């Protein structure tokens, strides 16, 4: 006796008690018969019986799937993606009726009705749009709510990296968050988390929003600088995670604003999991309380002999290596200092010796103040 012959009596028993649509009836046996189409199997088992009442399990939900397919196509029309998955929220009463039949007739190893609905919609959407179903790592996710006929969408975040060169003083690195949502994204800030675009973060964000759409942009900076500082050379590296992007490809690699240049902009797999080690070439303009003596400036060369010890506010200790030191006296009470040092050296504190040892002031035995500092290059 074939497997199909074995299931016919069970199917007939079910149909005596309940009216089922082709999809729901076929789903109860398709896995056992290793068939891919629930609907075709259900039609065969019905043997030309016409369904006069609504399906006991789904209430003829499968007849309305084209309506939900249209919703999916409409809500995703502004997005670019290759892979997708479909989820569903259905009425608990549908699940209860499905469970009742499976329990009553001792049917095991069967896909749930929710699984069948999402499979059918995914199959139809893929056929219509040529996109690929990927339930493990989709670029785009639909969640259909069959209670209120709504559809929530989620576009997987993408990460970009690049470098920026800041050639004008007076621009902050970071942008102030939206006061209404504290940077989380709301209607007031158009879900960007910021309302102004006059910093490094703001200008890069605005460019990315224009080219790729999306919501909040979360930055990972490789070091930082003060508002008056310049960033020169190849620029400072950064990573930015863009939430809910509309586009997933970027053709632009550089952009030149008046005071800011963005280079090497590209999509990468992810932001660094751990802080990246980097070194910086730094130029400092330093003033002194007393007249500068060249013999004391020469002592700065000793900075390359041992690490500089830095204590943060909590008392945590770290060491920074300085690999290169040059200086140039410019006036009686001012000089320029050029360093190549580990990233994260607090420049102003290093100059005046505030919880940094040794500091410039103690080395040259003269009270010092950092008037300004610039980054000539950053190496990762």
pLDDT in tens, 102-120: 999 988 888 899 999 999 9
Q: Pick the catalytic residue: 111, 226, 354, 377?
A: 226
Percent of the chain with pLDDT over 90: 79
Q: Give the domain-ending residue among 222, 240, 268.
A: 268
Domain count, the chain: 3
Q: How confident is the model at residue 36, as a pLDDT? A: 84
Judge whether residue 1 has pLDDT over 60.
Answer: no
Pairing label, strands 132-133, 334-342: unpaired
Tokens representing residue 291 in the block = 């007249």
Domain that holds residue 195: 158-268
Place of tokens 């007076």: 170
Question: Model confidence over 287-342: pLDDT tens digits?
Answer: 999 999 999 999 999 999 999 999 988 888 999 999 999 999 999 999 999 999 99
229 and 259, same domain (yes or no): yes
Q: Is the residue at 205 inside a domain? A: yes
- Looking at residue 171, which CATH number applies to its domain? 3.30.70.2510
CB 84 within 8 A of CB 131: yes
117 and 76, same domain (yes or no): yes
- Picking from 123, 200, 141, the residue whose alpha carbon sits closest to that of residue 169 is 200
9 and 146, same domain (yes or no): yes
Judge whether residue 193 has pLDDT over 70.
Answer: yes
DSSP tally for the chain: helices H, then strands E: 10, 16
Q: How confident is the model at residue 284, as a pLDDT? A: 97
For the chain, the maximum distance between any two Cα atoms, rounded to a whole number of angstroms, is 107
Q: Is the residue at 19 inside a domain? A: yes
Residue 226 annotated in active site: yes
Percent of the chain with pLDDT over 70: 98
252 and 220, same domain (yes or no): yes
Question: Model confidence over 75-92: pLDDT tens digits?
Answer: 999 999 999 999 999 999
147 and 70, same domain (yes or no): yes
335 and 264, same domain (yes or no): no
Q: Is 290 helix (H, G, I), strand (E, B) or coil?
A: coil
Tokens representing residue 303 in the block = 């900075």
166 and 300, same domain (yes or no): no
33 and 130, same domain (yes or no): yes
Q: How confident is the model at residue 251, as a pLDDT? A: 86
Q: Give the domain-ending residue among 268, 290, 308.
A: 268
- Greater pLDDT, 33 or 262: 262
246 and 146, same domain (yes or no): no
CA dist., res. 49 & res. 57, Å (int): 17
Q: Which residues pair with 144 in a beta bridge?
A: 88, 151
Q: Give the domain-ending residue among 105, 127, 155.
A: 155
Q: Is 253 helix (H, G, I), strand (E, B) or coil?
A: coil
Pairing label, strands 83-89, 140-145: parallel
Q: Is the residue at 274 inside a domain? A: no
162 and 256, same domain (yes or no): yes
CA dist., res. 285 & res. 334, Å (int): 7
Reported confidence tier of residue 48, pLDDT bands at 50, 70, 90: low
104 and 82, same domain (yes or no): yes
Q: Is the residue at 344 inside a domain? A: yes
124 and 16, same domain (yes or no): yes
Q: Is the residue at 294 inside a domain? A: yes
User: What pTM was computed for the model?
Assistant: 0.84
């Amino acid at each position: 006796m074939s497997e199909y012959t074995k299931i016919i009596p069970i199917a007939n028993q079910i149909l005596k008690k309940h009216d089922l649509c082709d999809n729901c009836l076929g789903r109860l046996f398709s896995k056992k018969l290793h068939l891919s189409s629930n609907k075709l199997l259900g039609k065969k088992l019905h043997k030309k019986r016409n369904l006069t009442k609504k399906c006991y399990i789904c209430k003829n939900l499968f007849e309305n799937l084209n309506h939900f397919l249209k919703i999916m196509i409409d809500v995703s029309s502004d997005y670019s993606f290759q892979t997708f998955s479909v989820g569903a929220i259905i009425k608990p009463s549908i699940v209860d009726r499905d469970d009742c039949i499976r329990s009553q007739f001792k049917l095991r190893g069967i896909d749930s009705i929710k699984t069948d609905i999402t499979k059918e919609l995914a199959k139809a959407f893929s056929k219509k749009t040529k996109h690929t179903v990927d339930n493990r790592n989709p670029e785009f996710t639909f969640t259909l709510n069959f209670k209120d006929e709504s559809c929530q969408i989620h576009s997987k975040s993408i990460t970009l990296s690049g470098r920026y060169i800041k050639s004008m003083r007076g621009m902050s690195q970071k942008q102030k968050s939206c006061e209404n949502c504290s940077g989380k994204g709301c209607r007031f800030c158009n879900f960007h988390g910021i309302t102004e675009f006059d910093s490094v973060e703001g200008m890069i964000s605005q460019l990315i929003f224009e080219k790729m759409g999306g919501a909040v942009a979360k930055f990972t900076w490789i070091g930082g600088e003060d508002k008056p500082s310049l960033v020169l050379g190849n620029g400072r590296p950064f990573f930015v995670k863009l939430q809910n992007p509309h586009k997933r490809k970027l053709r632009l690699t550089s952009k030149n604003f008046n005071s800011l240049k963005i280079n090497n902009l590209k999509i990468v797999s992810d932001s660094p999991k751990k802080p990246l080690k980097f070194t910086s070439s730094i130029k400092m303009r330093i003033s002194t309380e007393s007249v500068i003596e060249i013999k004391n400036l020469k002592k700065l060369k000793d900075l390359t002999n041992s690490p500089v010890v830095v204590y943060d506010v909590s008392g945590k200790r770290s060491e920074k290596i300085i690999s290169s030191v040059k200086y140039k006296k410019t006036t009686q009470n001012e000089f320029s200092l050029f360093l190549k040092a580990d990233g994260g050296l607090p420049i102003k504190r290093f100059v005046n010796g505030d919880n940094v040892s040794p500091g410039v002031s103690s080395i040259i035995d003269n009270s010092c103040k950092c008037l300004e500092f610039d980054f000539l290059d950053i190496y990762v």
